[in-house]
């Protein structure tokens, strides 16, 4: 009954000791940034011990000790025997002290629910994430937040770029009433990248019921929090930074532009609709998407992050109302094209009613390519390979997005992977999509190394 419990089996006390010893030796792993300081600490202790030895020797030769000191200092052992004994005793005490220090730090610094995780594992994960590639993700809605939730386990050098064209729901109301950047996509990204307590994240995503009254009914608590923070700090940009700091967000969340923009769509039936929330209800396919005003300034931090990125991920998210509005900001589109980063485009796993009816992965790619003045904007198209055997429910008016291997993806390479959420076939699975993205990124490195080797051998 006193054992350490894990799912599937019971660990006996001796197993717990072995596990603790295993965690202790993990502090010697490469990349933790701990060994150098441990060595410095051991060197300082050794020098201190040498100093004490000189002092004790001087005392020993200048003072006559009573007889019991002979037995207390083990002088009946040879000097080499005493040296080995003291080194072994000191080593054992050091291991026990370090082990107990690890447990004390875990219990003091981590929430109760996380105390089963070794501190060394947490430090190692954080160090590995800090050394991860610089990733910029462009999108919006649940697609972007799902991607970010998975990517934060691979790198903390994350930048999420979100649209400011949202004019529906809680975000639209706050935008119209308070003249602020719509906070909805920002809120979703903060919740996805936050390392705060799960209860705090749930609170941030809490939405008040409509019967709460016309003032707060329908609003998300996180939206109200961000807008209130803007009132305290004086700007939405500073509000996003401070909210991210309060909720321990890994990475940065940046609006694509700080200007007030409106989406305008020319439809296939010849009509024109205005407003992000009206486009899916236009009743006809989108032929051309624009923003007004057309020549708005991009957020300078977004342009800089794109130029400095190692990896840029476009999507997933609503094609015409989440992904493309970011790229229609001319400076962002230009920065994407000139960036030397590896670029991956992720189409949705299911079509979206009113936006991408009947689209496959090629149609998603071409829609963005046409709005990017015909330029190839991606190196890889990462599409879902796990298609359902049965059709999706008719009431959802949605179909799986297929990825024909013989279609034209420009200069991009088609990569198929099982990235769908098994419990919700309309969304990507955070862990799977992040793993596929990082695999595509590292494969690029291997391809470049192989090309360089072949070029050097041929020359």
Query: Considering only CA atoms, which of 131, 214, 145 is closest in space to residue 186?
Result: 145
Residue 343 in any domain: the answer is yes
- 300 & 333 share domain: yes
Q: How many CB atoms lie within 10 A of CB 273?
A: 19
Q: How many CB atoms lie within 10 A of CB 68?
A: 8
Query: Considering only CA atoms, which of 191, 301, 180 is closest in space to residue 246?
Result: 191
What is the residue range of 320's domain? 133-164+256-458
Q: Is pLDDT at 80 greater than 70 in this prediction?
A: yes
Tell me what pLDDT residue 202 has: 86
Residues 118-168 pLDDT 10s = 556 666 566 666 778 999 999 988 899 999 999 998 998 999 999 999 988
Average predicted confidence (pLDDT) for the chain: 84
Residue 328 in any domain: the answer is yes
CA 145 to chain CA centroid, Å, is 9
What is the phi-psi region of residue 74: left when phi exceeds 0, alpha when psi lies from -120 to 50, beta otherwise? left
- As given in the structure block, the two tokens for residue 194 are 């936050």
Choose the most confident range, by mean pLDDT, from 24-33, 104-113, 303-312.
Answer: 303-312
Residue 337 in any domain: the answer is yes
Residue 120 near residue 26, CB atoms below 8 Å: yes
Residue 245 in any domain: the answer is no
- 36 & 116 share domain: yes
- As given in the structure block, the two tokens for residue 107 are 């219990």
- 83 & 137 share domain: no
Contacts of 329 (CB under 8 A, 6+ apart): 256, 257, 261, 291, 296, 298
Tell me what pLDDT residue 282 has: 83
- As given in the structure block, the two tokens for residue 7 are 């799912």
- 304 & 415 share domain: yes
Between 367 and 56, whose confidence is greater?
367
Between 73 and 448, whose confidence is greater?
73
Residue 251 near residue 159, CB atoms below 8 Å: yes
Residues 221-248 pLDDT 10s = 999 999 999 999 999 999 999 999 989 8
Last residue of a domain, one of 81, 102, 127: 127
The total number of residues written for the chain in this structure = 459
Number of structural domains in the chain: 2
Tell me what pLDDT residue 9 has: 43
Tell me what pLDDT residue 28 has: 63
pTM, to two decimals: 0.76
The Cα–Cα gap between 163 and 240 comes to 14
- 19 & 139 share domain: no
Residues 172-217 pLDDT 10s = 999 989 989 999 999 999 999 998 767 878 888 899 987 777 788 8
Burial class (CB in 10 A: 0-12, 13-18, 19+), 362: buried
> 338: domain CATH number?
3.40.50.10680
Last residue of a domain, one of 127, 148, 179: 127
Q: How confident is the model at residue 25 (pLDDT cuts 50, 70, 90)?
A: low
Query: Considering only CA atoms, which of 306, 280, 276 is closest in space to residue 291?
Result: 276
- 265 & 401 share domain: yes
Residue 454 in any domain: the answer is yes
- 300 & 391 share domain: yes
- As given in the structure block, the two tokens for residue 353 are 């009613």
């Amino acid at each position: 009954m006193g054992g350490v419990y894990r799912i599937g089996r019971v660990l006996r006390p001796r197993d717990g000791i072995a596990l603790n010893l295993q965690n202790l030796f993990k502090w010697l792993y490469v990349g933790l940034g701990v060994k150098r300081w441990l060595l410095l600490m051991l060197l300082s202790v050794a020098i201190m011990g040498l100093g004490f030895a000189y002092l004790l020797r001087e005392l020993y030769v200048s003072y006559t000790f009573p007889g019991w000191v002979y037995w207390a200092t083990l002088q009946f052992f040879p000097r080499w025997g005493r040296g080995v004994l003291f080194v072994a005793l000191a080593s054992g005490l050091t291991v026990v002290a370090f082990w107990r220090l690890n447990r004390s730090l875990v219990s003091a610094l981590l929430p109760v629910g996380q105390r089963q995780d070794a501190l060394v594992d947490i430090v190692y994960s954080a160090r590995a994430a800090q050394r991860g590639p610089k990733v910029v993700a462009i999108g919006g809605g649940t697609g972007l937040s799902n991607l970010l939730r998975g990517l934060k386990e691979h790198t903390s050098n994350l930048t999420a770029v979100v649209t400011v064209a949202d004019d529906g729901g809680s975000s639209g109301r706050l935008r119209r009433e308070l003249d602020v950047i719509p906070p909805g996509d920002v809120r979703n990204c903060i919740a996805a990248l936050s390392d705060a307590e799960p209860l705090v994240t749930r609170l941030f995503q809490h939405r008040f019921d409509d019967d709460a009254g016309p003032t707060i009914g329908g609003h998300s608590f996180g939206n109200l929090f961000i807008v209130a923070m803007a009132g305290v700090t004086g700007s939405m940009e500073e509000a996003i930074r401070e909210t991210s700091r309060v909720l321990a967000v890994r990475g940065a969340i940046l609006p694509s532009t700080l200007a007030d923009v409106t989406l305008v769509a020319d439809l296939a039936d010849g009509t024109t609709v205005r407003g992000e929330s009206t486009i899916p209800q236009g009743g006809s396919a989108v032929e051309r998407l624009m923003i007004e005003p057309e020549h708005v300034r991009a957020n300078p931090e977004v342009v800089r992050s794109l130029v400095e990125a190692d990896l840029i991920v476009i999507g997933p998210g609503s094609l015409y109302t989440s992904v493309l509005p970011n790229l229609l900001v001319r400076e962002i589109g230009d920065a994407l094209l000139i960036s030397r980063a590896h670029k991956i485009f992720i189409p949705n796993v299911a079509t979206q009613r009113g936006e991408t009816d009947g689209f496959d992965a090629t149609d998603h790619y071409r829609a963005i390519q046409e709005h990017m003045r015909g330029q190839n904007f991606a190196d890889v198209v990462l599409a879902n390979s796990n298609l359902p055997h049965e059709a999706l429910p008719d009431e959802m008016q949605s179909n799986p997005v297929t990825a024909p291997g013989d279609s034209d993806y420009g200069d991009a390479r088609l990569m198929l992977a099982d990235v769908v959420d098994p419990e919700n076939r309309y969304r990507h699975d955070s862990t799977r999509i992040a793993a596929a993205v990082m695999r595509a990124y590292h494969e690029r490195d291997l391809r470049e190394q192989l090309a360089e080797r072949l070029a050097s051998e041929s020359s």
